[in-house]
Amino acid sequence: MVADPPLSVVGLGASLGDRANTIGTAVRLLAAWPGVELRGCSRVYASPPSGGVAGGDFLNAAVVLRCFAGPEALLEALRAVEHRMGRRHTRRWADRVLDLDVLWIEGLEWSSPTLQVPHPRLHERTFALRPLLDVAPHAAHPATGVRYATLPAAAAPLACVGVLAKPRR
């Protein structure tokens, strides 16, 4: 019997256009992606931009899923969904229609030229930690064992503005 792949958490963010609709559509596209099994959705949070040149407030959320093809294939799926939704990679930390990031994969530390898991700044970003903890409350750093819920950024205030709905099959 083959074991299920580890749980993965993907962060979603948007600061341009109809942000809530964009995030909801992205979740539906991810749920329909071959080799991806959506397991749950977080609340939706509003947050000001963090560093960089973005000017608009972001909506942020997360989904927990199983990807049967591995981390790099998951990243490819995320990039394809971003592109389909109109994302064009321009300046780093600029406003964007959609941003999808692999935040954490259960028990896995991964580093390649295109992907680092856990996300290298996850531990300091409330807008990423809070949605992650909604869908994976016991998530911990795979190398250190530190639970993300114990980090100061996890307790910082963040405005909840809604809940993502898991798409029906």
In this predicted model, what pLDDT tens digit does every residue of 37-63 receive, in sequence order?
999 999 999 988 776 655 678 899 999
| Pairwise CA distance, residues 117 & 115, whole Å | 7
| Pairwise CA distance, residues 168 & 143, whole Å | 35
What global pTM score does this model have?
0.92
* All structural domains of the chain: 7-163 (3.30.70.560)
pLDDT at 137: 97
Q: How many CB atoms lie within 10 A of CB 70?
A: 15
pLDDT at 124: 92
* pLDDT-wise least confident of 35-44, 91-100, 153-162: 91-100
Q: Give per-residue burial for 97-122: e unless 16+ CB within 10 Å, then b.
A: bbbbbbbbbbebeeeeeebebbbeeb
As a whole number, the mean pLDDT across the chain is: 89
pLDDT at 6 over 90: yes
Q: What percent of the chain has pLDDT over 90?
A: 73
